[in-house]
């Protein structure tokens, strides 16, 4: 069960949509909603003239504090518009971009589910990707990424597409999503181009389907060919064709210049997401 939900808001303009999505999920699961109103110092100082550094740093800090207060005000206004039965708390914090990971990860570790806006939407800053990576890779929390259209029916999903490739990440996402999978009228385990010599070659997705059915999930398997250039394209088409309310998939990351960067398949999926995406690593 999801009993503690966390959402992180870094832009006052996105507060209403993000709070509404997170609130609907919290109410559907009788959960408490924790809101982190985050003012981010995005200043990257390459150099400064002697005697001006402190002034520049103070100005950046003041601007970040103003942003945090604006976000907090917008979040509180959005929270008062939700159902009175919603239980919530809010905390306003200022952080430099480099310390966002540690801050968000610490909060995410104590949440059952983190609800965040799509990180690659128009107008999103670098902190949006840092927040989602921190929650999943460092906080080890499952994340629901909400598209611009909102949460839709994902708070009480009817049809769920579950992406399955036999990986540990996909299994983690499946286990973390069980409260939602049990609610659905149908869970379509989607396997794309299963390996001919893999451990599930004779029955792709069969063992996972059996496990879920024993949990009371109405699961079935759909095996698809990779008929489009990217796996994410095939998944997106499957979601549209089935009129699904939610996509569940493992989140993949690899080391580059930062500790964790969303892998190509995950990023591609989030860039084109039309329904909420449940991710876990």
In whole angstroms, give the CA distance from residue 274 to residue 147. 6
Q: How far apart, in Å, are the Cα atoms of 195 and each of 53, 174, 252?
A: 57, 20, 19
3-state secondary structure 90-134: EEEEEEEHHHHHHHHHHHHCCCCEEEEECCCCCCCCHHHHHHHHH
Cβ-contact 65, 120 below 8 angstroms: no
Q: Residue 104: is its pLDDT beyond 90?
A: yes
pLDDT tens per residue across span 39-78: 988 775 444 444 555 666 777 778 889 999 999 999 999 9
pLDDT-derived band at 263, boundaries 50, 70, 90: low
Other Cβ atoms closer than 10 A to 200: 16
Helix, strand, or coil (residue 9):
strand
Q: How far apart, in Å, are the Cα atoms of 111 and each of 8, 143, 183, 238?
A: 12, 10, 21, 30
State how beta strands 253-254 and 261-262 pair. antiparallel
pLDDT tens per residue across span 175-222: 999 999 999 999 999 999 998 777 777 899 999 999 999 999 999 999
* Average pLDDT for 140-158: 92
* Average pLDDT for 30-37: 98
Residue 200 pLDDT: 78
In whole angstroms, give the CA distance from residue 166 to residue 207. 10
Residues whose CB falls within 8 Å of the CB of residue 31, separated by 6 or more in sequence, listed in order: 2, 3, 4, 5, 25, 87, 112, 113
Residue 19 pLDDT: 98
Residue 134 pLDDT: 94
pTM: 0.91
List the domains of the chain with CATH numbers. Answer: 4-146 (3.40.50.620), 159-280 (3.40.50.620)
């Amino acid at each position: 069960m999801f009993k503690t939900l966390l959402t992180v808001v870094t832009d006052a303009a996105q507060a209403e949509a993000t709070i509404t999505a997170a609130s609907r999920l919290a109410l559907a699961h009788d959960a408490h909603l924790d809101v982190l109103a985050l003012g981010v110092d995005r200043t990257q100082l390459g150099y400064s003239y002697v005697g001006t550094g402190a002034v520049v740093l103070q100005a950046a800090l003041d601007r970040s504090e103003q942003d945090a207060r604006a976000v907090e005000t917008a979040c509180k206004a959005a929270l008062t518009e939700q159902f009175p039965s919603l239980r919530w708390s809010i905390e306003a914090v200022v952080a430099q971009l480099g310390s966002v990971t540690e801050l968000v990860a610490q909060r995410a570790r104590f949440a059952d589910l983190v609800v965040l806006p799509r990180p690659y939407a128009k107008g999103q800053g670098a902190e949006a990707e840092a927040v989602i990576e921190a929650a999943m890779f460092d906080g080890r929390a499952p994340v629901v990424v909400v598209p611009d259209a909102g949460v839709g029916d994902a708070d009480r999903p009817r049809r769920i597409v579950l992406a399955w490739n036999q990986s540990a990440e996909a299994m983690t996402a499946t286990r973390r999503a069980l409260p939602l999978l049990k609610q659905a009228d149908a869970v379509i385990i989607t396997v794309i181009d299963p390996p001919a010599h893999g451990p599930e070659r004779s029955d792709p997705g069969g063992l996972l389907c059996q496990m879920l059915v024993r949990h009371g999930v109405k699961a079935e398997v759909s095996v698809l060919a990779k008929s489009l250039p990217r796996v994410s394209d095939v998944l997106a088409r499957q979601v549209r064709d089935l009129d699904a309310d939610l996509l569940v998939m493992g989140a993949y990351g690899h080391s580059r210049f930062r500790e964790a960067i969303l892998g190509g398949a995950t990023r591609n999926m989030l860039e084109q997401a039309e329904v909420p995406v449940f991710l876990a690593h």
